Amino acid sequence: MLIARVVGEVVSTRKHPAHEARKALLVQPLALDGSNFGPVLVALDAVEAGIGDRVLVTTEGFSAMTSVGRGTQSPIDAAVIGVVDRVDLLGDGPPPAPVE
| Predicted local distance difference test score (pLDDT) of residue 84 | 95
> What span, in angstroms and rounded, lies between the C-alpha atoms of 49 and 51?
7
pLDDT in tens, 27-65: 999 998 889 999 999 999 989 999 999 999 998 776 666
| Predicted local distance difference test score (pLDDT) of residue 41 | 95
Phi, psi at 56, each rounded to 5°: -100, 130
Domains present along the chain, CATH in parentheses: 2-10+23-83 (2.40.50.220)
pLDDT-above-70 percentage for the chain: 77
pLDDT mean over 7-21:
84
List CB contacts of 25: < 8 A, sequence separation 6 or more. 6, 8, 9, 10, 42, 43, 44, 45, 49, 80
Q: Taking 80 as the threshold, does the pLDDT of residue 20 lie above it?
A: no
Helix, strand, or coil (residue 62): helix
